Chain A
Amino acid sequence: MIAPNKQINDQLSQKYWQGFHTDIDTDSLPPGLNEDVIRAISQKKNEPKFMLDFRLKAYTHWLTMSEPDWAKLKIEPINFQDISYYSAPKSNKDGPKSLDEVDPELLRTYERLGIPLHEQKMLSGVAMDAVFDSVSVATTFKEKLAEAGVIFCPFREAVEKHPELIEQYLATVVPYRDNFYAALNSAVFSDGSFVYIPPNVRCPMELSTYFRINAANTGQFERTLIIADKGSHVSYLEGCTAPMRDENQLHAAVVELVALEGAEIKYSTVQNWYPGDENGKGGIYNFVTKRAMAKAHATVSWTQIETGSAITWKYPSVVLQGDHSSGSFYSVTITNNHQQADTGTKMTHIGKHTSSRIIAKGISAGQSQNTYRGLVKVAPTASHAINHTQCDSLLIGDRCSAHTFPQVNTQNALTKVEHEACTSKISADMQFYCQSRGLDSEAAVSMIVNGFCKQVLQQLPMEFAVEAQALLEISLEGSVG
C-alpha cells in the first residue's frame, strides 16, 4: 500500500512538470558530424588512443549503414548534420572534483526535479550519478561505495582511471556494428555511468543515474557499462527528463551489462523524456540499445517503465550464454496522445538449463501506437531452456492501437516455451464500479491501470515505486473523457 505524499500530489497537478529549461553557459560543439568532431569529443575528454580508434572505427562503419525501418514507427527524417554532438555546462570543463565545485544553478535544477545532490538531502541508500546533457555533473556516496570496492563513476572518469576495464569490456555486449544507432553512439558518445562490482560483493546501496537533456539542438548519447564480477550483486536505476521543446531531439544510448558467473544485475528504468505536446509536436526520439551478457548461473533482470518520449525504439535483451543463467524483462509502456512505442526484448538462449521470463504490459490512450516486439531464440546448444512470455495490452478509448509481435525461434527440441497474450479495454463496468465508490474518472482509470501493471511495478526498488506510480497517472492525464 502506498500513501500519496505531497510531492506526488504536486506532480499530479501539472502535466510535464520537468519541462523547464536551465539557463547555463555551455561549452558546445557546433552542429554537424565528421571525423574532426569525433576527434574533438575524444580530445575534450583526454581519451587514450584506444578510445579514439574505437570511435573512428564505429564512425566509419556507421557511414555505411542506414536507419532501421522495420519497426512499426513513423519517424520524421533526421538530419544528423543538424545535431550538436557535444554540450557541457561550462563551469566544469574538467569535471567537478566535489559537489562544492558544481554550479549552484545545476544543483538547483536537480532539486527542482526532486533529485537533491547535496549530501544532507540525498535519498538514503541510493547513490546517484547525474548526467546533464553530455556530461556527468555529480556522483554521490562515492566514498561509501569505495569502501566496498565498488566503482561507480562517470564514464569519462572510468576511461581515465580504469582504462583496463573499459578496454576489456567496452562493446563486448553491444558491438559498434550492432545497429545504426549503436554505431552512432559508439562514435560520438559523450558520457554516462560506469559500474564495477568486485567478486562476491553485494553492492551496499541502490545505484542510480539521472539523465537530463537541457540544451537545444543537442543529442544525448550516453553509454552505460555495468560489470558485475563473479558472485556479485547490484541494483541500478536510471531516470530521464528533458525540457519541453517544439523540435524533436535525439537520444541514442547504449547500455551494456556484463554479469559474470553467478552474478546478479537488476536494471530498472523510469523513462520520462518529454513526449511532445497533445498534437504530437516535439518530444524526444528515444532510440536505445540495451543488452546484457549472462555467464553461468548469472541472473539479469530488466524492468522498464516507459512513459515519455515521442518515439521509443528499444529492446533490452539478455544473451543467456552460460549454463543455468536466467534473464527477465518486466515492462510497462504507456503511450498517450500521438506517442509511438515499439519496444520489447530479445532473449537468446545459448547455455543449457537457461531460463527467461517476459512480462510486458502496454497501455495505449489517445491516438497512440503501442507495439510489443519480442524474440525468444533458443540455440541448438540450449537444451532444457525455458521461457515464459506474457504480453497484455490495455486500450483506453477507441483511437489508439496496440500490436504484439512475439517471435519464437527454437532450434532445440528439449525446450519449453510458453506464451500468453491478451488485449482488453477498460470496461465501462469497471470504471463505474470504481466511480460509484467515490473515485473520479481519472482516478478510477489510474487505479485500474496501476492494478494492470502491478506485476511489473513491484519489481521496482521501493524508493522508486511511488515515483513510477505517480508517473503513470500523469502520463494518462486527459486520456479519459
Chain B
Amino acid sequence: MLKIQSLNASVGDKSIIKSLNLSIQPGEVHAIMGPNGSGKSTLSNVITGHPDYQVTAGHIHYQGEDILEMTPDVRATKGLFMSFQYPVGLPGVTTISFLQAVMNAQRKQRQEPLVEATDLIASARVACEQVGLPAQFLHRALNKGFSGGEKKRAELLQMRLLEPKLAILDETDSGLDIDALKMVGTVVNEMRDNARSFVIVTHYPRILEYIKPDYVHVMRDGNIIKTGDAALANQLEKSGYAWLDDTTKD
C-alpha cells in the first residue's frame, strides 16, 4: 500500500524528516506516536503533498507508484486522504457543496459516474449522524465558525464519504472529549477492512484504546526510533516518552 524509503524532508532550510523508512500493507492500521516536534505532522503533510514541504531525498511509493511528483489532488484521486490537524475554514462554501465538488472531482478523474445531489444529501445525512455532527452543518460554510471538535467531526465526515484507501488521521484525537474519541474509534473500526489502511498520528495512547493498531511506531527527531505492537503504546502510557531514552540507548 505505502512504502517510504530513506525519506528526507525539510521546510525551508530546516531539515525535519531524516532517513525515514515505513511500510504499510493493505488492511493494516499503523499508529505513529511521539512528542511534539518529532516530525509526525511533517510526515503526514509530505505524504499528502503539501507544497511547503520539500522532499530532499528518498522515495514514497503508494500502490506501487512513485507519488512524489504527483500534485495533492492526483494523490487524493488515487485514494489518499488526510484528516487535518487544523482544518481551514472556507467562507461561503457550504459543506454539502464542498462534498459534492470534491467527490465528483475524484469520480470524474477515475471515470466513475458522478454522484447525484439527492443521493449525496441522503448519504451525507447518514454520515453526519455517524460522526455526531447535526445535519444543519451541511448547509453552513465548511469549518467556518466550527469549534475544534466540530472541525474534526467534519474531517471524519469527509473521510466517510470519500472512502479513501489510505487515511491519515493527523492528531484527530487532540482536543476531543471522551465521547468524541469513541466516535473516532467507531468510525475507523466500521471503515476498517482488509483493503483499507489507516495511519493514526497521535501524542496520546488513549485513542488506541478504541482503535487497535497492528503496529505502533515511535518518532523522535524526524525518524522512527522504535516499532512494536499495541503493547508498545501501553508501555508508553505507563512510562512516558522518557522511557525510550533508556531502551533505545541499548
Contacts from A to B (Cβ < 8 Å) = 1-3, 427-430, 432-441, 443-444, 447-448, 450-455
The complex places the Cα of A312 from the Cα of B84 at a distance, in Å, of 41
Interface of A is mostly: helix
Query: Would you call A430 and B101 a contact (CB within 8 A)?
Result: no
Is B241 engaged at the interface, CB distance under 8 Å to the other chain? Answer: no
Query: Would you call B141 and A436 a contact (CB within 8 A)?
Result: no
Which residues from A are CB-within-8-Å of B96? 1
Interface of B is mostly: helix
Whether A447 touches B72, Cβ cut-off 8 Å, given contacts A1-B96, A438-B102, A440-B105, is no
Which residues from B are CB-within-8-Å of A429? 88
Is B73 engaged at the interface, CB distance under 8 Å to the other chain? Answer: yes
Which residues from A are CB-within-8-Å of B50? 432, 436
Is B158 engaged at the interface, CB distance under 8 Å to the other chain? Answer: yes
Which residues from A are CB-within-8-Å of B52? 428
Whether A436 touches B93, Cβ cut-off 8 Å, given contacts A1-B100, A429-B88, is no
Which residue of chain A has its CB nearest to the CB of B139? A1
Whether A438 touches B94, Cβ cut-off 8 Å, given contacts A1-B117, A428-B51, is no
Is B162 engaged at the interface, CB distance under 8 Å to the other chain? Answer: yes
The complex places the Cα of A453 from the Cα of B93 at a distance, in Å, of 10
Query: Would you call A441 and B90 a contact (CB within 8 A)?
Result: no
Query: Would you call B87 and A433 a contact (CB within 8 A)?
Result: yes
17 sampled A-B residue pairs with Cβ under 8 A: A433-B88, A434-B102, A436-B75, A436-B84, A437-B76, A437-B102, A437-B105, A437-B158, A438-B109, A439-B105, A440-B71, A440-B73, A441-B71, A450-B92, A451-B91, A451-B93, A453-B92
Is B210 engaged at the interface, CB distance under 8 Å to the other chain? Answer: no
Whether A436 touches B98, Cβ cut-off 8 Å, given contacts A447-B90, A455-B92, is no
Task: Tell me how far the C-beta of A458 lies from the nearest C-beta in chain B, rounded to whole angstroms.
Answer: 9
Contact for B92 among A2, A443, A451, CB less than 8 A: A451
Name the interface residues of B103-131: CB closer than 8 Å to any CB of A.
103, 105-106, 109, 117
Is B42 engaged at the interface, CB distance under 8 Å to the other chain? Answer: no
Which residues from A are CB-within-8-Å of B103? 438
Is B82 engaged at the interface, CB distance under 8 Å to the other chain? Answer: yes
Whether A432 touches B101, Cβ cut-off 8 Å, given contacts A3-B117, A437-B76, A450-B92, is no
Is B48 engaged at the interface, CB distance under 8 Å to the other chain? Answer: yes
Which residues from A are CB-within-8-Å of B41? none
Which residues from B are CB-within-8-Å of A2? 97
Query: Would you call A435 and B71 a contact (CB within 8 A)?
Result: yes
Task: Tell me how far the C-beta of B114 lies from the nearest C-beta in chain A, rounded to whole angstroms.
Answer: 9
Task: Tell me how far the C-beta of A180 lies from the nearest C-beta in chain B, rounded to whole angstroms.
Answer: 38
Query: Would you call A438 and B76 a contact (CB within 8 A)?
Result: yes
Which residue of chain A has its CB nearest to the CB of B144? A451
Query: Would you call B48 and A436 a contact (CB within 8 A)?
Result: yes
Contact for B141 among A1, A430, A438, A451, CB less than 8 A: A451
Task: Tell me how far the C-beta of A446 lies from the nearest C-beta in chain B, rounded to whole angstroms.
Answer: 9
Task: Tell me how far the C-beta of B169 lies from the nearest C-beta in chain A, rounded to whole angstroms.
Answer: 14
The complex places the Cα of A434 from the Cα of B103 at a distance, in Å, of 11
Which residue of chain A has its CB nearest to the CB of B158? A437
Name the residue among A434, A438, A443, A453 with the largest chain B CB count within 10 angstroms. A438
The complex places the Cα of A480 from the Cα of B91 at a distance, in Å, of 20
Which residues from A are CB-within-8-Å of B71? 435, 440-441
Which residue of chain A has its CB nearest to the CB of B72? A435
Query: Would you call B88 and A439 a contact (CB within 8 A)?
Result: no
Contact for B77 among A432, A438, A450, A451, CB less than 8 A: A438
Contact for A436 among B76, B91, B117, CB less than 8 A: B76
Which residues from A are CB-within-8-Å of B213? none
Query: Would you call A441 and B92 a contact (CB within 8 A)?
Result: no
Which residue of chain A has its CB nearest to the CB of B94? A1
Whether A433 touches B92, Cβ cut-off 8 Å, given contacts A3-B117, A438-B102, A440-B73, is no
Whether A438 touches B90, Cβ cut-off 8 Å, given contacts A3-B117, A428-B51, A432-B50, is no
Name the interface residues of B52-82: CB closer than 8 Å to any CB of A.
52, 71-73, 75-77, 81-82
Given A435-B49, A437-B158, A437-B162, 6 more contacts at CB 8 Å? A1-B96, A432-B49, A438-B76, A438-B105, A447-B90, A447-B101
Task: Tell me how far the C-beta of B152 lies from the nearest C-beta in chain A, rounded to whole angstroms.
Answer: 14
A-B interface, 4 closest residue pairs, ranked by CB to CB distance from nearest: A451-B92, A454-B92, A451-B93, A437-B102
The complex places the Cα of A129 from the Cα of B205 at a distance, in Å, of 69
Task: Tell me how far the C-beta of B85 lies from the nearest C-beta in chain A, rounded to whole angstroms.
Answer: 11
Whether A439 touches B92, Cβ cut-off 8 Å, given contacts A3-B117, A428-B51, A433-B84, is no
Which residue of chain B has its CB nearest to the CB of A454? B92
Which residue of chain B has its CB nearest to the CB of A436? B72
